[in-house]
Structure 1
Amino acid sequence: MVKDVHSAIMTCQPASLKGGQVLRRNTDQGGQLKQDCCFKTQERSSTRKTGQYSPQRQLAAIMSGRSRSLQQELESDLVLNQRLLQSVGALMSETLEVAQDVANYCKDDKELMKETQDIMLTFIDMEDDIKHYKTALNHVKKTCRTVQDDSEEDEKLTATFTQKLNELKSTNSNDENRHLNHPKYEELRSLFEDRGSIEEQLATLRLAMIGNTEDSQGELAMTDVNINTRCPYTGCTMQDPVRNILCGHVYDRTGILTYIKQKSSRAKCPVGGCGNTEPIQESHLEEHKTMKKYIYLLSQSESQVP
């Protein structure tokens, strides 16, 4: 592919997009770790700029030199566009992870929530643009099989590309609900829905972690169920809980990694009576987001007690 073509397409290279990058500031509140999440607004505006394309430049660059066949050039562009599409999808997933943190720890920050939504909308727009380009390139690819290498035919192909692209954009602009109906945006909005009081959220989390417990009258007695928030190794309240995927027991990340380093191949699960005989490895540990949120909300609840 000629250099101009790559330059034209790489203007939207997601590797340079930092709209989903997050700054986390750790502060101590009530003895618990609180994470504040915020986006860089200037980077978001940079994201929007890099998401713009020029169709004339795109195809004109292809026509400006033909060291390979036009079919090969277009195929190369299609491969690159597919990679861009995958990268934007990954950025959407990262934005959802950030949205989860915002929902957990910054629920009262409406400005931050809106900014998170705006960034997701930016990525949805970029995804649409890349899909339109891919469709338009495929359309030109089919057309150019019978085209001769001359400037007049080049102009026709450019016009065909532009016309197809404009048709796609016009159809897209008429769909007012395309953002709202996007699965990633729906998932993000669900994270920001009101989940009730702290006590109601704690009850929901307890239910998620240990299941339904019924009293003698058949009613849920979740408020009477205790969740152990202390690390079985350090004995301290967990700051960054991780779950052992082999036995399900939960530890504080820093504490258990210290234990693994000290014991090496003898680092068995420190929970008494655990049937897991495998030495713990770091690869056996996964973040326990539910427990982490539970501990945070519990500290909030306790701080409100007079």
Structure 2
Amino acid sequence: MPGGARISLNFMDSSLSSLKNCQSYINTGMDIATHVALDLVENFSFGMWYSCDVLISKTYIDDAEDVKSIENVMLEYAAMDRELNHYVEAIEETVNQIKREKPENMPDLKYLVKEKFTALESKNSDSDLQRNEKYLYFQDQLKEMRKQFRHQSGDDNEAIEQIDEDIVVTQSQMNFICPITQMEMKRPVRNKVCGHTYEEDAILKIIQTRKQQKKKVRCPKIGCSHADVKGSDLVPDEALKRAIDSQNKQSWSTLEKSAGYDAATKEICC
């Protein structure tokens, strides 16, 4: 019996390792699905908003349908992730339990794991999937991407005056500036607690310095009351990064066209 118990424990350790590998694959899949959804929104929104009304309407339909399909994929991933988490939890609870048992009282490990897993699965609800961390990030980034698009396209109000459009663009560009470095962000991260964004290297450096001083970090955004910024609260803001890159591409395109026009004008004049 003792020898058999050791083999069973070794097998369970191997199973745990395999399950955790599967979890990493699921996380990677969810990351890829999120990037694909953002690509769709970016391509439809930033690339086609300037076209005719019919095309704009079709764009929104295609965007919504394709992103909805990816959202369903994300929920399927979330369901698999929940199931794997339950298997991992069931195995870990079983291992901890049998370590306290005497060899002669060793239970049927397979039955015990199944029993614990079934108990965990019986508490499942659809809301569990909606609370999946990567699913929440997926939804959050889509929302931010569309918000950035509205800023750039002026879609919120077709009758807006030119001066108001300039204000909207200025406000959008202000969101590109890190409150720490006062420079345009290259790798923005957003605080899940207060919603403010910072340059990744800048905020992590402050957190590390304050940690060494055994002090908490107040959010660098003026007016924010959040007084305990943690590295674990920071997530990459892919939507904002794409908006910044898109704005820079448009600026370069405008400069290149302007340079080409000036050169052509000079050639004609001369």
TM-score of Structure 1 vs Structure 2, range by shorter chain: 0.3 to 0.5
Higher strand share goes to which structure? Answer: 1
Q: Which has a greater percent of helix? A: 2
TM-score (norm 1): 0.42
Q: TM-score, normalised by structure 2?
A: 0.47
